[in-house]
Amino acid sequence: MSLIVLGLSGALNHDPSAALYIDGVLVAAAEEERFVRDKHAKNRLPLEAARFCLQQAGINPGQVNVVAIPFAPIAITRPHRWHYARRYWYAPDRGLDALLNGNRRYRRYRQRILSLLSQLGIDPGRIELDSVEHHLAHASSAYHCSGFTEKTAIMGIDGKGEYATTFFGYGEQRRIHRIKEFVDPDSLGGLYGAITEFLGFDMLDGEYKVMGMAPYGDPQRYDFSRLASFEEGELQINTRYANVIGLRRHKRKGRGYYFSNKLVDWLGPMREGDVADDPYIHYAASMQALFEKLALQMMDYYLGDIIAATGRLAFAGGGALNVKLNQKIIARPEVKELFVQPASGDSGTAIGAAAYASEQRGVPVEKMRHVYLGPAYTSEEVVATCNTHPGKPRWRRLTDVPLETARLLNAGHPVAWFQGRMEFGPRALGGRSILGCPSSVGVADRINQQIKFRERWRPFCPSMLARVAPQLFKVDHPAPFMTFTFEVKEGWKSRIPEVVHEDGSARAQALEPGLNDRYYALMEEMERLTGSGVVLNTSLNRRGEPMVCSPLDALEMFFGSDLEYLVMEDILVSKR
């Protein structure tokens, strides 16, 4: 009898997703936002994502053995709830709630999951429901999916789970051992999120914008050390400035923020608008520098001996999407390989909870080699959608998709690229992408301003043939998922200027053959035409929208932007 495990995330009211393992093979995973067209799908459960996973696997709901969720009750005998109450002494209602009713959120989430199972046709009485602690799910998504067989250091940096914010441990013989956890409000991810809000972006969405802004600033201009410290093995956030609740929150236009009036008194008013200007670029640089410094100090303190002995580190949690930190980690001589789970944020905990449940039952999960785990559509479905769309697009069937697309790119045109199964996680990796030629001067500005309608200072990323990466970057390290930045060699900066960021780095996808054959073939054609084997790659969506899922989603974006060409499977779509 097969072991079928369905992972369902969404406990923290954002980024719900579903993932399905059958006998240790990850057959499907998707985020709810892609189906309901609501970015981060806040306050929803992964109904449509779960339905897709079951349909993709070709199984009926009654065949599911285990449902795993990344949220669990925390006993009063553990220090987490006591730490939370003590550190939030200035909001006694929250502290007392943590002590007296500390699993309220878990009970509410569990009830919502039981209701969801009924909607899916899964009888809660006939399955095992596994509640996996949030940070243990993050840890499992990193370690169990890494493919590492040696003893492996595990790090998780996040905003907050039930109470924990940070995880240090190790994996050995497929078991996870916990070394240390930090507890809210002592959250490095939470601090980064609070400064993200101060810089005018939404927490849980704009952190990567702060990271993109940071290279334009000087981290020495402002000393952010007062915000957090790591001493004698303990992280402490200064809650007079950030990670605040209740009356300490700065309030503006009826909304409360996770920073205080004291922070505003120190740094001035919140940033507004889309311009990356002084002093906010320096604030971004200082926050990024503090984040890197403290994360590396914590990693050395708790995991340094393990990394020195084995060279392996698995990393997850929202903080693992900070590619500049990851660049610092892989530059260290003792680190042989860093695996960053590509959906490291909370959507990835659906995979982590399901992987953990499978491993606990003695069924090891496979190494994660790709994230093409979502829906796919045929050329016939594309044509049918075109023929019924009110925009009345022109379309024609291509005989050689990689060659004809490469010619359009080489002529300086951005091209929307819709091929195969949709990616899981926040990065477009050649399934739902907007592509450009990285040597075509101005193509990045055009995509920012006329297609994605986003801030002009936002960088773009290169996808490349894996064999090209060692020629291009100063550090040779696998990069299948765009989870690292690398310093670009001088000779390449002028060859691919549209994908080199302000600090001379690039966040890269180095694609191995056999994982996405058509995308690989496209880059081979680009190599023949341009000599580089590299394309500019960004996600197929407009600002504030989730990544495109279906042909209809793609056409809606196509007609809502200045895109001229859209390649969906074998079909080239253009406007009349």
Asked whether 212 and 457 are in contact (CB, 8 A), the reply is yes
Asked whether 8 and 67 are in contact (CB, 8 A), the reply is yes
Pick 4-146+342-360's CATH classification: 3.40.50.300, 3.30.429.10, 3.30.420.40, 3.90.1150.10. 3.30.420.40
- Does the pLDDT at position 456 exceed 80? no
Q: Return the beta strands (E) in 272-361 as ranges.
A: 312-316, 337-340
- Does the pLDDT at position 457 exceed 80? no
Amino acid symbol at 559: F
Amino acid symbol at 288: Q
**Alpha-carbon span 170 to 310, nearest angstrom:** 11
**Alpha-carbon span 101 to 95, nearest angstrom:** 10
Residue labelled with tokens 């040779």:
476
pLDDT interval class at 576 (50, 70, 90): confident
- Does the pLDDT at position 416 exceed 80? yes
* Strand pairing category for 432-436 and 415-418: antiparallel
Is 519 exposed, middle or buried, given 0-12, 13-18 or 19+ CB atoms closer than 10 A?
Answer: buried
DSSP letters spanning 391-440: T--EEEE-SSHHHHHHHHHHTT--EEEE-SSPBSSS---SSEEEEE-TTS
Tens-place pLDDT, residues 196-240: 999 999 999 999 999 999 999 999 999 999 999 999 999 999 999
Asked whether 286 and 224 are in contact (CB, 8 A), the reply is yes
The whole-number pLDDT of residue 462 equals 98
Asked whether 167 and 135 are in contact (CB, 8 A), the reply is yes
User: For the chain, where do the domains classified as CATH 3.30.420.40 start and end?
Assistant: 4-146+342-360
Asked whether 171 and 184 are in contact (CB, 8 A), the reply is no
**Alpha-carbon span 455 to 212, nearest angstrom:** 10
Average pLDDT over residues 261-270: 98
**Alpha-carbon span 49 to 55, nearest angstrom:** 10
User: For the chain, where do the domains classified as CATH 3.90.870.20 start and end?
Assistant: 379-574
Is 253 exposed, middle or buried, given 0-12, 13-18 or 19+ CB atoms closer than 10 A?
Answer: exposed
Give the pTM: 0.97
Average pLDDT over residues 557-564: 96
**Alpha-carbon span 272 to 253, nearest angstrom:** 13
How many other β-carbons are positioned within 10 Å of the β-carbon of residue 162? 24
The whole-number pLDDT of residue 25 equals 98
How many residues in total does the chain contain?
A: 576
**Fold held by 379-574:** DHBP synthase (3.90.870)
- Does the pLDDT at position 1 exceed 90? no
- Does the pLDDT at position 495 exceed 90? yes
The whole-number pLDDT of residue 453 equals 87
pLDDT interval class at 459 (50, 70, 90): confident
Question: Half-sphere exposure of 346 toward its Cβ, with a 13 Å CA cutoff?
Answer: 30
Report the sign of the C-alpha dihedral through residues 192, 193, 195, 201, in that order: positive
